[in-house]
Amino acid sequence: MGQFGAAIGVVGLLLLVVGVLTAHSDPAILKNVMQSYLYGWVLAMLLCLGCYGWMLIHYMSKGSWGKPVLRLFEAGAKSLPIMFILFLPMIFFCHAIYPWANPDLVKVDATLQHRAAYLNPTMFGLRTLAYFGIWTMFTVILTGLSKRQDETGDVRLADYRQKMSAFGFLIYVVTATLAFTDWIMSLDTHWFSTIYGFWFVDFQGLATISFVALIICRNKLARQEPYDTLVTLQVTRDIGNFMLVLTMVWAYFSLSQWIIVWSGNLPEEITFYLRRNAGAFLLVGAANIIFSFFAPFVILLSGRTKRTPALLAGVATMILIMRFVDIFWVVVPVTRHPIAPLWTDAAGAMFAIGVFLAGFSYFVRQSPLVPQHDELVLTEAASHG
């Protein structure tokens, strides 16, 4: 996976460089390139921050479902500093992405002037630094406690992790809500939604649990240890249930937001859906409803799907593919008119996802795939058959 990630990352970077060089002759191209870069970065950030959230959940719950995949969550969380580095170009070129960073637009828009104390490049960069600083601090401390327990066997360290993770998860939800409000919702000059941040928290959880399900099911089918032993029917059922619940939550948030906007019928609110009901993008939205909710919902209702690694891997693949579509549907229409996919969108996705996969693979190899302090893992796996 690491070599594959590095390869597609390099290809994506080269394509983005070509786009930036071309932008010297047309400033509009730079805007498209940076918007595509943001799109790709958000996709990778969903997986990275989702791993962080799931790591906290497992440390809190100590559930057997997470023991075979805990190291995967930790590896994704450890990639947070890499994602911060990838974010830096968007600070330097924020004027090409965000309307509030364009002085000419701010001068003629009362709403942007009202928000200027909060939405400006300096505060934007400082808040992002604070978000990543908090997430990285929790990751370093918690994974350090896990490593120390591997070495010492001190069970008190597990209690420390549990208490700290409970507090950390609350901070995670608040900071993730603020972060995606800054990074994505602020793309729109006037539109806002109070459910937006929770919507993206669900995006993260669903994308990450599907990503992890695909990894463990693939290794289970290939009979690779330790997953061949650890990935039992109980584990796949639990992870499949998480995928089902988060799919339902995605539908609930999406439908709730639409109903509230439709019932209010206010000019500053309906713009979100007017942009996405234009031309072929209406078909994209319809496909999103079918393959992001109805298809996975119906398939995951079956217990056989959750007990069969090949079927669960297939559903996980569909959910991950639809995250590419879903995030494109959310991010691109507010920044680009007419709405149309560009080759730079593929380049941005390839670069960011490739870098994340390379970093993720590196950190996975740094620790044993099975936590050494958890001697009950194999016992529980054998008992669940």
Residues 130 and 142: their CA atoms lie apart, in Å, by: 18
* Residue 58 and residue 342 in contact, taking contact as beta carbons nearer than 8 Å: no
* Residue 120 and residue 101 in contact, taking contact as beta carbons nearer than 8 Å: yes
Q: How confident is the model at residue 383 (pLDDT cuts 50, 70, 90)?
A: low
Question: Each residue of 128-186: pLDDT tens digit?
Answer: 999 999 999 999 999 999 888 888 888 888 889 999 999 999 999 999 999 999 999 99
Average pLDDT score over residue span 197-211: 95
Residues 172 and 204: their CA atoms lie apart, in Å, by: 12
Q: Which helix (H) or strand (E) is 146 found in, with range?
A: helix 121-152
| Helix ranges restricted to H, 153-195 | 156-183
Task: Find where tokens 């009901």 sit.
Answer: 277
Average pLDDT score over residue span 243-265: 93
Residues 7 and 126: their CA atoms lie apart, in Å, by: 32
Residues 51 and 79: their CA atoms lie apart, in Å, by: 9
Q: Which two tokens stand for residue 268?
A: 């500053």
pLDDT exceeds cutoff 70 at 379: no
Amino acid at 180: F
Query: Domain boundaries in the chain?
Result: 2-368
Residues 238 and 66: their CA atoms lie apart, in Å, by: 9
Neighbours of 230 (CB within 10 A): 23
Residues 373 and 182: their CA atoms lie apart, in Å, by: 39
The CA-atom distances, in angstroms, between 313 and each of 199, 212, 244 are: 24, 10, 13
Average pLDDT score over residue span 25-33: 77
* Residue 44 and residue 359 in contact, taking contact as beta carbons nearer than 8 Å: no
pLDDT exceeds cutoff 80 at 233: yes
